Amino acid sequence: MFQTQNQSQMLYFDIAPVPMLILNELGEIVHSNRECQNILRFEQTSSHIDDCLSAGVWLDIKRHFSMPPVFTPPEPFSKVIKFTCSNASYSLNVSVADTSSGVTYVAALTLHSKEVAPGGVAMDRLPFGMAVVDSDGHFLDMNQAFYQLLGYREEELKTKKDFDLTYVSDANSEKPLRHNLIGRGGQQYHVDKRYIHKHGHQLWVRTFVSAVSDDVSGDMKFIISVFDIHEEKQLQDVIATSERRFRVIAENVSSVVWISGADPMRLFYVNKCYDNVWEESAESLYGDPRAFLKKIHPAERELASVTRFSSSTDSWNVNYRLLFPDGRIKHIRDSGHCVFDGNSELIYRVGTLTDITSEIVQRDNVVTMAQQLRQLVEYDSLTGIKSRHAIMNDIRETYQQFSMTGDPSMLVYIDADGFKGINDSFGHEVGDQVLVKIAEHLTSNIRDSDVAGRIGGDEFVVLLRHTAQSEVPQILERLCRDINSEGLPINIAVTLSLGEKELCSNILSAEQWLSEADQTMYHNKREKKKARSQHLSTL
């Protein structure tokens, strides 16, 4: 069994927030910490590291550290591995240390995440958690990433409320923010908070909460996007409680970590992650701690400078962008705090610089998806005018305003004469062109305050808002003109049948208003056919 003469070091090892192993020079596991045993359900029943893995790795580790070192100390060994007891992939990072009993290898494990292609359209394919709750906090829907993050099955979560799973003090702080969103569709807030995992431990997440109103019921719902920031929060807690524990973990995390004296120009430490994020050597910072500012976008450089080199002892958390010579952009979250001694004297400034570019891209993808979905719902894909769903919302809104103000409005129902014959004779492609020309004709012959929409097939409506009866004949005359277009076959002239209905107190609903306009249109169409028949019979 591994022995250490410094029991405090073993304490830090055992409570480290990432799974860790200690191997001897033969590759035998001599110690594993609590996270390795609890999270991976690892048991020290195997004496050799290769016995625990789906594919051996010990020879690779030995070969890596037997090579003549280019750096001092040698670079850690890194490889993606799988345990035989788990289907998940982990990044294995191994460092070597000389002890009184010989060479010792310290291995740290982090969950390996594959890249997710941007622009996914299904909630279940999003790489972060997402849930929908009602105004009381009951879960209505969620994706797999959300309920797996909390350790529950989907059906278990649908019996619970969002705040029931939130740490009590965090829930009390968030409830006023949630309450303020009611009645403010399209607004949002974001908070860092702790969820309670099914197994009882706390889990830090960053949540973005948006309020939306159901189009049918009008009920308020909240969409919650959840990002796992547990590692980031754990890292900050580590820095706040122990410099030694921090240095053990700092080289194995995905954020830039730095420590300075009370004077921010006295830089003591920055980890090698800086080389990857800033794409330059961290060594330059020891000579000039302000060197990192050169890569920051000019528009945000002053913000970063004032934040980092301020004499204030308050914690900070700001976002800015890095701008590279080739035009690439990275988004950075710069956060940190001050460390004081027992006499409340400032002794250190400690911070992290996290590349949040993927988080920003994912958030932008969600916004783009929402905009595209709205475009599909609000507008007819063929003609570009309002869809049935959208025009019906306008009709209902106008009806509700009439009940309060009595403001006159007119609804015109429109149908293309002989459209089936055009489709049968010339094909659906020409038929689609006719529908587009009808939409263009309607929108070009109404006022800015009016709106046109496609009900379906060759049926359209025009809503004439705030329209006096004296204005109607002129508008109807323009709308019912024959449509002749250079884009249609030479012998096609499209005629329209119209039916108008003025909104009055006898109409009890928006649907009745639409129906009566429709009936008027069909009555006019029949009369037009009858008149045409009588005219032909006299010839």
Same domain membership, residue 143 and residue 99: no
HSE on the CB side for 58, CA within 13 Å?
15
Cα(200)–Cα(204) distance, integer angstroms: 13
Same domain membership, residue 517 and residue 411: yes
Cα(437)–Cα(485) distance, integer angstroms: 8
In a domain, residue 367? The reply is no
- Given a contact cutoff of 8 angstroms between Cβ atoms, the answer to whether 35 and 19 are in contact is yes
What's the CATH code of the domain at 452?
3.30.70.270
CA 183 to chain centre: 22
Torsion region of 457: left, alpha or beta (phi above 0 gives left; psi -120 to 50 gives alpha): left
In a domain, residue 248? The reply is no
What's the CATH code of the domain at 21?
3.30.450.20
Same domain membership, residue 283 and residue 180: no
3-state SS, one letter per residue, for 301-332: HHHHHHHHCCCCCCCEEEEEEEECCCCCEEEE
Cα 217 to Cα 209, 212, 220, 392: the distances in Å are 21, 12, 9, 15
Residue where a domain terminates, one of 299, 331, 359: 359
Same domain membership, residue 107 and residue 134: no
Same domain membership, residue 526 and residue 434: yes
In a domain, residue 433? The reply is yes
Q: How many domains does the chain have?
A: 4
In a domain, residue 240? The reply is no
Looking at residue 139, its pLDDT comes to 93
In a domain, residue 2? The reply is no
In a domain, residue 239? The reply is no
Strands of the sheet containing 256-260, edge to edge, are 267-270, 256-260, 346-355, 329-340, 316-323
Rg of the chain in Å (alpha carbons)? 34
Cα(247)–Cα(229) distance, integer angstroms: 20
Look up the domain containing 49 and give its range.
7-111
Q: From the first residue on, what is the mean pLDDT of each consecutive set of 10 residues in the chain (539 residues)?
A: 48 71 87 75 67 84 76 72 73 78 81 42 72 91 91 91 94 92 74 94 91 71 89 70 62 84 91 92 92 95 92 92 94 92 87 91 82 80 89 92 88 90 86 90 89 92 85 84 72 85 90 93 88 69
Same domain membership, residue 513 and residue 405: yes
Closest CA to 497 of 470, 523, 515: 523
In a domain, residue 370? The reply is no
Asked, as a colleague might, if the bond just before 176 is cis with ω within 30 of 0, I would say no
For the question of whether the overall pTM of this predicted structure is more than 0.75, the answer is no
Question: What tens digit of pLDDT does each residue of 75-114 get?
Answer: 788 887 877 776 667 778 888 876 666 788 888 887 754 4
Closest CA to 497 of 418, 399, 396: 418
Residue where a domain terminates, one of 111, 143, 165: 111
- Given a contact cutoff of 8 angstroms between Cβ atoms, the answer to whether 225 and 366 are in contact is yes
For 102, the 3-state DSSP assignment is strand
- 35 C-beta neighbours (distance < 10 Å), count: 18
Same domain membership, residue 143 and residue 67: no
Torsion angle of the four alpha carbons 355, 360, 363, 367, in this order, in degrees rounded to the nearest 10: -170
Looking at residue 394, its pLDDT comes to 92
Same domain membership, residue 105 and residue 133: no
Cα(195)–Cα(204) distance, integer angstroms: 6
In a domain, residue 120? The reply is no
Same domain membership, residue 262 and residue 336: yes
Same domain membership, residue 532 and residue 387: yes
Same domain membership, residue 531 and residue 498: yes
Question: What tens digit of pLDDT does each residue of 459-513 get?
Answer: 999 999 888 777 788 888 888 887 766 667 767 778 889 999 989 889 999 999 9
- Pairing outcome for strands 346-355 and 329-340: antiparallel
Same domain membership, residue 84 and residue 228: no
